[in-house]
Amino acid sequence: MDDRLADVTDTARPRLLLIDGHSMAYRAFFALPVDKFSTSTGQHTNAVHGFVSMLANLIRDERPTHVAVAFDAGSTTFRTEQFPQYKGTRDATPEPFKGQVPLIKEVLESMRIMHLEKDRFEADDILATLSSQADGLGMEVLVCSGDRDSLQFVNENVTVLYPVKGVSELARMTPVAVQTKYGVEPGQYPDLAALVGETSDNIPGVPGVGPKTAAKWINQFGGLEQILEHADEITGKAGESLRAHLEQVRLNRVLNHLLLDVDLPLGPDDLRAQPWDREDMHRVFDALEFRALRERLFAMMPAEDSGDEPGGAPTFEVAVADLTTDGLSGWLTAREGRSLGLEVAGKHTPAAGDAWMVAIADDAGDAAVLDLADLPARDDEALRAWLQDPAAPKVLHGAKGAWHALAGRDYVLDGVVFDTELASYLCHPDQRTYDLGELTIRHLHRELRVEEPETGDQGAFDLSLDGNGEAQRLAVRAAALVQLAEVLAGDLRDRGASDLLTDLELPLGTVLAQIERRGIAMDADYLRELERHFGEVVSAAATEAYAVIGREVNLGSPKQLQEVLFDQLAMPKTKKIKTGFTTDAAALADLFAKTEHPFLEHLLAHRDATRLRQTVEGLLKSVAEDGRIHTTFQQTIAATGRLSSTEPNLQNIPIRTEAGRRIRRAFVVGDGYETLLTADYSQIEMRIMAHLSGDEGLIEAFRTGEDLHSYVGSRVFGVPTSEVTAAMRSKIKAMSYGLAYGLSPFGLSKQLNIEVSEAATLMEDYFSRFGGVRTYLLGVVAEARSIGYTATIMGRRRYLPDLTSDNRQRRDMAERMALNAPIQGSAADIIKVAMLGVEKEIAARGLRSRLLLQVHDELVLEVGPGERTELEALVREQMAGAADLSVPLDVSVGVGTSWHDAGH
């Protein structure tokens, strides 16, 4: 016996998982509905999803130590050369399946799972060869394949997992299972298949001979050779039929014999499972829009034991200090001047935060953990002094949240020199989340896992869940921070983003924390009145709508609306969507123009009022005890660099319609303040376009101070500015903005309700006058394609690997992102700079006025008594001076006691 294996115990025995990629992907394709699985770019993903889901289950349930996936290489194999009809009845590959196999390969590569294919051979031959080699090495082998030919190499060490229903249920085909199901030994299965045939491979069997007869013969004569020798002796119709098809059966047997000696570049030993490339997995899963599946996969891994299993990365070692003698003060003094990691457990919500426990750690893993509910006065003082000391450098992950938690206990947080969440966002702005545990695995190859104590009680109580475990967990996170910051700082430097963190995002985090804590005052009584009013409009519209169609339906259900509109009322079909035909507002308005059916009017009114009522309800629920709404500004969500607002979203409060604007009256100036002030950049994106493109015409347009769209319209249409009609102006406006989004002539024609040719002419005319814009837009995409990213005026990058994708939809999408990201992102940079300037200048002058909201190109402030004039000048100056562009940054200001009245 091979002595390498002599001491291998059964539990440590290597286990090789082999998957027939094409056959399982194809099964998954038919098991899952195509229309339920596709990305926003239209790429179908049902086969990918099914395949990866199955793979996840296999890894979880079977715990393979080695994995490989084999694919068919092409249409011609040594079998088709011998028998051209082989697999000839297969329908052409369905269109939605095409393109999914390369995506599966991308997933496998990100998981560092080998995939193999070889010219002229089928996946099954590769699997047979690897299986036989692995068996020879003493490995346990699992073969996952939907091709029954693979049953021939089942033995005591080799099990085939054969899909019985979809890809989620797999039958374990052991020798006994094969014997039970087919009545023959696994090695004789090809004999049986040769007699019975295989329709899906276009292999005709002996007519009248099914699996029962074939098995009977095989057991009676001992095998196919013997059956063929004794063919004359077999009586009856079946025997006759057999004699008429001897050649076919011989050929079948040749074809279904799998090769065990395919020459492969890799052997079983090379297939050992590797730690995942998590960064790449994020990229791939982001593109596939597999959220739940990604979570499932990542959730599986930390549970693995830390042996040599994939993903079992080492953890952090921490030593939690005993503060009973020297106290926190001594511990901190010993580390003066060093950057320390700070982790705060508690509620991280604005104006309602609370901190329960604090962990501080140095880069060596020495940590101090403080239970704030039970803190000696001297430690409380030391903690307070250290937290608010701007000269005591701290590293946090999501400092804004910690700021809120600490504020709940009246601690002031200052001296934050690094935020690992913000840093990671600047490096990879397309990620959705920046989980600290994910980052430590990716950058430090360590897990945030607290090692169970060796003497851990295995009884009813889990010791790790008591207070001490919480302290350990917090200490581990704090200890990870300093090390992580070092790596990320290097990453930031490489990407030219160090200043963005230090001079922009970090200080902005503090400004946002203050803004969120302030909140904005609400007139709750007025909101309740609005709610009642919109509620009445909803009821009235519903009643009238029901009367028109003679029954009550749920007007909020697109499904029921489709029945009413297209079945009951037999209206013309609207644009197709996944679930049928759209009932969106544009389509309903279109239908109304065609049919003038009164139901549509009531339905639209109902939609409007329902929406407004929902908005009002949501706002009412969000009013805090202080009578103000405290939104959270997300600083690491938008890939372009914008902020976003949640719980509630105050960046999408209605303004376009009069009814909607009424909601803005509920946002009011707070007690002790004079008024609200809004200040917004006018046409900032077009100004950035002018600056970035350097187009002389566009720059001149802004310098003249004339109305932009009229100016551009006069140049495009060749008429004096005074003769630019409203219709001309609105066309120009739509096109100008569209250009910054990568608008096509088709899209423009759709939006303006004009012919595609007219839209194309319009764009052509525009570019002939403003050629610099076209040059710029083409250049942006070309440069991004070659360097891999776009950049804003402050160097904020967005990476767009899909610019070189083979998939046209994905490539086109990436191109539009490339066009928009520098413009939207630069505007975001500029207003962020302005916010810092405003906040700083207000503080420098000792004003009471304060920032309350940011809505992308607008700031809302509360004006202290008597400060209106000074504040307006200050805000104008800071906003206009936030960037030095080749065009002026125009700011318009409004004042009023409500957001509505302060608007303009």
Which window, 246-254, 499-507, 849-857, 890-898, contacts DNA (CB under 7 A)?
Answer: 849-857
Number of residues lying near DNA (CB under 7 A):
69
CA distance 261 to 254: 15
CB-nearer residue toward DNA: 167 or 323:
167
Tokens of 902: 């302060």
What angle (nearest 5°) sits at the alpha carbon of residue 141, between those of residues 137 and 147?
Answer: 130
**In the range 666-685, which residues lie near DNA by CB under 7 A?**
none
Q: For the CB of residue 620, give the shortest distance to DNA in the complex, in Å.
A: 10
Q: For the CB of residue 874, give the shortest distance to DNA in the complex, in Å.
A: 21
Q: Does 889 bind DNA (CB under 7 A)?
A: no
* DSSP state at residue 374: G
Of the candidate residues 132, 159, 645, 675, the single one contacting DNA (CB under 7 A): 645
Tokens of 5: 């294996």
CB-nearer residue toward DNA: 294 or 850:
294
Q: Does 856 bind DNA (CB under 7 A)?
A: yes
Of the candidate residues 175, 275, 393, 558, the single one contacting DNA (CB under 7 A): 558
Q: For the CB of residue 338, give the shortest distance to DNA in the complex, in Å.
A: 35
Q: Does 738 bind DNA (CB under 7 A)?
A: yes
Q: Does 764 bind DNA (CB under 7 A)?
A: no
Q: Does 583 bind DNA (CB under 7 A)?
A: yes
Q: State the CB neighbour count (10 A cutoff) for residue 157.
A: 15
Which window, 30-38, 101-109, 273-281, 459-467, contacts DNA (CB under 7 A)?
Answer: 30-38
Q: For the CB of residue 729, give the shortest distance to DNA in the complex, in Å.
A: 15
Among candidate residues 181, 28, 164, the one with its CA nearest the CA of residue 107: 28
Of the candidate residues 560, 682, 721, 886, the single one contacting DNA (CB under 7 A): 560
Of the candidate residues 76, 219, 579, 768, the single one contacting DNA (CB under 7 A): 579
Of the candidate residues 595, 649, 721, 805, the single one contacting DNA (CB under 7 A): 649
Sheet holding 628-629, edge to edge: 628-629, 520-522, 667-668
Tokens of 55: 């793979």
CB-nearer residue toward DNA: 588 or 762:
588
DSSP helix/strand/coil, 75? coil
CB-nearer residue toward DNA: 79 or 662:
662
**CB–CB of 629/527 below 8 Å?**
no
Q: Does 624 bind DNA (CB under 7 A)?
A: no
Beta bridge partners of 599: none
Of the candidate residues 660, 670, 795, 837, the single one contacting DNA (CB under 7 A): 660
Q: Does 349 bind DNA (CB under 7 A)?
A: no
Which window, 135-143, 417-425, 633-641, 772-780, contacts DNA (CB under 7 A)?
Answer: 633-641
Q: Where are the alpha helices (DSSP H) in 446-523?
A: 467-494, 498-499, 506-518
Of the candidate residues 46, 483, 824, 878, the single one contacting DNA (CB under 7 A): 824
Of the candidate residues 274, 657, 725, 761, the single one contacting DNA (CB under 7 A): 657
Q: Does 788 bind DNA (CB under 7 A)?
A: no
3 state SS for 531-591: HHHHHHHHHHHHHHHHHHHCCCCCCCCHHHHHHHHHHHCCCCCCCEECCEECCCHHHHHHH
Q: For the CB of residue 709, give the shortest distance to DNA in the complex, in Å.
A: 14
Q: Report the b/e string of 40-53 with b at 16+ CB within 10 A.
A: ebebbbbbbbbbbb
Q: Does 419 bind DNA (CB under 7 A)?
A: no
| Distinct helix (H) and strand (E) counts, the chain | 36, 25
Q: For the CB of residue 652, give the shortest distance to DNA in the complex, in Å.
A: 3
CB-nearer residue toward DNA: 228 or 612:
612
Which window, 222-230, 290-298, 501-509, 838-846, contacts DNA (CB under 7 A)?
Answer: 290-298
**CB–CB of 47/26 below 8 Å?**
yes
Q: Does 50 bind DNA (CB under 7 A)?
A: no
CB-nearer residue toward DNA: 295 or 696:
295
Kindly give, in sequence order, each residue whose CB lies less than 8 Å from that of residue 795, ignoring residues fewer than 6 positions away: 496, 497, 499, 500
- Give the 3-state secondary structure percentages of the chain, helix then strand then coil, rounded to 5: 55, 15, 35
**Sign of the torsion formed by the C-alpha atoms of 568, 570, 572 and 578:** positive
Of the candidate residues 247, 656, 786, 869, the single one contacting DNA (CB under 7 A): 656
CB-nearer residue toward DNA: 474 or 827:
827
Of the candidate residues 586, 719, 778, 782, the single one contacting DNA (CB under 7 A): 586
* Tokens 């001992």 belong to residue: 222
* DSSP state at residue 71: E
H or E element in which residue 713 lies: helix 708-717
* Tokens 């899963």 belong to residue: 285
CA distance 129 to 263: 9
Report the interface residues with DNA, using CB under 7 A. 36-38, 42, 291-292, 295, 554, 556-560, 577-579, 582-586, 588, 607-608, 611, 614, 618, 621, 634, 637-640, 642, 644-649, 651-657, 660, 734, 737-738, 741-744, 746-747, 750-751, 813, 816-817, 820-821, 824, 855-858
